[in-house]
Structure 1
Amino acid sequence: MLDRMTEAIEFQGKALALRARRQEVLSSNIANADTPGFKARDFDFAAALRQATATTATASRALPATTSSAALPAGAAWRTAGGGQVVSTLAPGVQHTVQLARSKPGHIGTGGLGGNAVEYGTRLQYATPKQASLDGNSVDLDRERASFADNSLRYEATLRFINGRVRTMVTAIRGE
């Protein structure tokens, strides 16, 4: 019975978590609009939501971040392994693990926004700029601000929907 009641909210909860993550990514892009060489990143929200609704509760954790770079040899990639480790694959089947050192306990590790994974296995992708920048920065500030505002509005709508559903359930339970 409880599963049936929470089932309706579960979808919206996953959407809310993805909207929050997208807000972090977009705000990072906006904050780095003047950083030379910064590449704007984003993810396909619809694909991430499809992936989220297809996963089970036990498999809903983020996957390790993996990305490929044109500067590396063909087939080469790197990913964060957690615990301050970076694993690089320079050739198929050959991996090198490097432990990143922190000179102070307050330094940021390899997890968080620095990773390439979004919840439910979706990957961050680099945005293609409409116009090339001389300093190599690919942030289109107008596009990022518009995406940020749109995502904020949709986040708020999702939150209001969840609050309304919870309020309706509480009213039904109380018999009012």
Structure 2
Amino acid sequence: MSDRLFGIHGAALELRSQRMGMLTSNIANAATPGYKAKDIDFAAALDARVAGADVARSTDAATRYRVPVMATMDGNTVELANEQMAFAENAVAYSATLSFLEGRVNNIKRALKGD
């Protein structure tokens, strides 16, 4: 029923949340030798989710390792500026999706109250 009410926005919010966690992990491990930065191909994950895959499966299928522009000697592939930019971009998209869903919920509440 939630898919009919919220369309792809509910799935998008879940995926954005998963991506936020992955980007946070990358930032937290910026100084960890050998750490491989990962990200979610959001479009691929959303396509998989819309096709019926659960969040974990769609996220796993769309997870990609980052290829660094400048490799480090210790094997860490986190480029902090890129991770921070991706985090900020994802946070804005998460907020926009959440605002849309809040508006949708408010409309449903008004309809149920008869306003």
Task: Provide TM-score, normalisation by structure 1.
Answer: 0.61
1:128 corresponds to which of 28, 48, 67: 67
Structure 2 residue matching 1:162: 3-state secondary structure: helix
- Matched AA of 1:169: I
More helix by share: 2
Q: Output aligned runs, 1:47-62, within 5 Å.
A: 47-55=44-52, 59-60=53-54, 62=56
| Structure 2 residue 25 is the aligned partner of structure 1 residue 31 | no
Task: Provide TM-score, normalisation by structure 2.
Answer: 0.91
Structure 2 residue matching 1:33: 3-state secondary structure: coil
Query: Deviation of residue 61 (structure 1)?
Result: 5.6
| Structure 2 residue 88 is the aligned partner of structure 1 residue 139 | no
Cα–Cα, structure 1 residues 6 and 36, in superposed 2: closer, same or farther, change >3 Å? closer
The 1-side partners of 2:55 and 2:50 are apart by 13
Unaligned ranges ≥5, structure 2: none
Aligned residues: 115
Give aligned-pair identity as a percent.
43
Query: Deviation of residue 10 (structure 1)?
Result: 4.0
Structure with greater Cα Rg: 1
Aligned to 1:94: none
The 2-side partners of 1:53 and 1:47 are apart by 10
The 2-side partners of 1:8 and 1:50 are apart by 18
Aligned to 1:154: 93
Q: Output aligned runs, 1:26-175, within 5 Å.
A: 26-55=23-52, 59-60=53-54, 62-63=56-57, 118=59, 122-175=61-114
The 1-side partners of 2:35 and 2:79 are apart by 11
More strand by share: 1
The 1-side partners of 2:79 and 2:55 are apart by 31
Unaligned ranges ≥5, structure 1: 64-116
- Matched AA of 2:25: S
Bigger drift between 143-152 and 166-175 goes to 166-175
Aligned to 1:15: 12
Deviations 1:15-68 (A, max 9, x none): 00000000000000000000111110112001110111111xxx52634xxxxx
